[in-house]
Amino acid sequence: MRILVTGGAGYIGSHTLIQLLREGHNVLVYDNYSNSSPEALNRVKQIANADFNVCEGDIQDAGKLNEAFGSFRPEAVMHFAGLKAVGESNEKPLEYYAQNVSGSIELLKVMQRHECRRIVFSSSATVYGNAKYLPYDEHHPMQPTNPYGRTKYFVEEIIRDWTASWGEASAILLRYFNPVGADPSGRIGEDPNGMPNNLVPYISQVAVGRLKHLKIFGADYETRDGTGERDYIHVEDLARAHLAAIEFSEATTGCEAINVGTGGGATVFEMIKAFEHASGQVVPYEIGPRRDGDVARSLAAVDKAERLLGWRAKLSVADMCKTTWNWQSNNPYGYGSK
C-alpha cells in the first residue's frame, strides 16, 4: 500500500516506518524536521534494508502537501506530525493550534481533494484529563487540561466530522498512553531537544551521565509507593498497533478512537529500579514537589484495541528499559554530537 507518513522522522514515526517497510509498504515521509533529524531516516533505511522517498515540508503548506499527494498518490495517511510539549503549549498556545489543528485541517482537505480516504491519527491519553474512573476507556469524558491536550481533542472532533461528511472515509484515532523504548538495533530512539520533559528520557540521560540526578515530581500520591503511576507502552508495540489500524481501516468506514496501552502500570520508583537493573547504572534521584497538572495514576482499558484490531501489547517494562539503554548508551547525544 502507498502510505504517506507525516512526522515520519520523529520518535514514533521512525519506529513505525521500520515495520511498514518490513511489511512491504511503499512509503513517503513528509516532515519539516522541526523536532527530528534526517539521520533518523538514513538509519531506518539501513535497519529495514529498504528505501523510500522523503519530502521536506510543513503540513501547514497546502501547496507542498498537494504536490506530494499528486506525485505519490497515497492510499492512506499516518499522521504523526505535530508539536507535543505540554509546558511549551501553555506558553505558545497559538503555535500549537496553528501546527496541530490548522495543519491537520490542511492535510484532511488535501486528502479529500486526492480521494485519499484513510487516516490513522496520533492522539493521546491526555484527551481524557483528570480521571473520573480507571482504567480510562474510550467513553471516558474528555476534558484535557492544557493547550496541547486540547489540540488533540479538537483534531479528533474535526476528523470525526470529516468522516461523517464523507461516507467513504475511515479514521482511526490512536490514543497513546506513555510511549517509551527503542528499536532493538539501538540505532534509533527518542532524542529530545534540550531538557527532557518525560520520565524515561530523563532517567536514561542521568544513567548515561548527561544529567546529574532525577527529580521525582512528588512522592505523596495515593499510589502503592507514593509516586505517579503510568501505563508505559513499548514503541515497537505501538508501531504494530499502527499497522493493525491501517489494515482495519481498509475494510471499514467511519471513525474509531482506540486506546493504545498495556493495561498495566509502573510507578516512578519502579521505573528507576527497572532501569537500574537493565543498565547496571545507579540513577540518583531527589524527591521534589508535584508537577502542576500531573495525575496520580493513568491506565488504559485495552479491550477495544484487542476486539477491533486484534492487537495487544507484548513487551514488558524490562524490554522498554533494556532497549532505551541500548539506544542511549550507544548514542549518548542522540543523533547529534556533544
199: nearest Cα among 289, 267, 278:
267
Cell of 110: 488535501
Reported in sequence order, the residue ranges of the chain that DSSP labels E, i.e. its strands, are 2-6, 26-31, 53-56, 76-79, 118-124, 170-176, 178-180, 214-217, 229-230, 232-234, 254-260, 266-267, 285-288
- The x, y and z cell numbers of residue 130, run together, are 483528570
CA–CA dist 294, 170 (Å, integer) = 33
Instruction: Point out the catalytic residue in the list 30, 96, 148, 202.
Output: 148
Q: Which residues contact 260 (CB under 8 A, 6 or more apart)?
A: 174, 175, 176, 177, 233, 237, 238, 241, 300, 305
Given ligand NAD, ligand UD1, none, residue 268, with its beta carbon under 5 to 8 Å by kind, binds ligand UD1
Specify the residue, 29 or 280, whose C-beta has the smaller distance to ligand NAD: 29
Would you call 97 a catalytic residue per the annotation?
no
Contact map string, positions 98 to 137, toward ligand NAD, x by CB under 6 A: -x---x------------------x-x-------------
Cβ at position 112, least distance to ligand NAD in Å: 19
- For the chain, the distance separating the N- and C-terminal CA atoms, rounded to the nearest angstrom, is 40
Stretch that binds ligand UD1, among 17-25, 155-163, 192-200, 275-283 (CB under 6 A): 192-200
The pattern of x and - marking residues 278 through 317 that bind ligand UD1 according to CB under 6 A reads -------------x-xx---x-------------------
Q: Which residues 8-67 are close enough to bind ligand UD1 by CB under 6 A?
A: none
Among 69, 202, 269, 325, binds ligand UD1 (CB under 6 A): 202
Which residues of the shown chain bind ligand UD1 in the complex (CB under 6 A)? 86, 124-126, 149, 178, 197-199, 202, 214-217, 228, 230, 268, 291, 293-294, 298
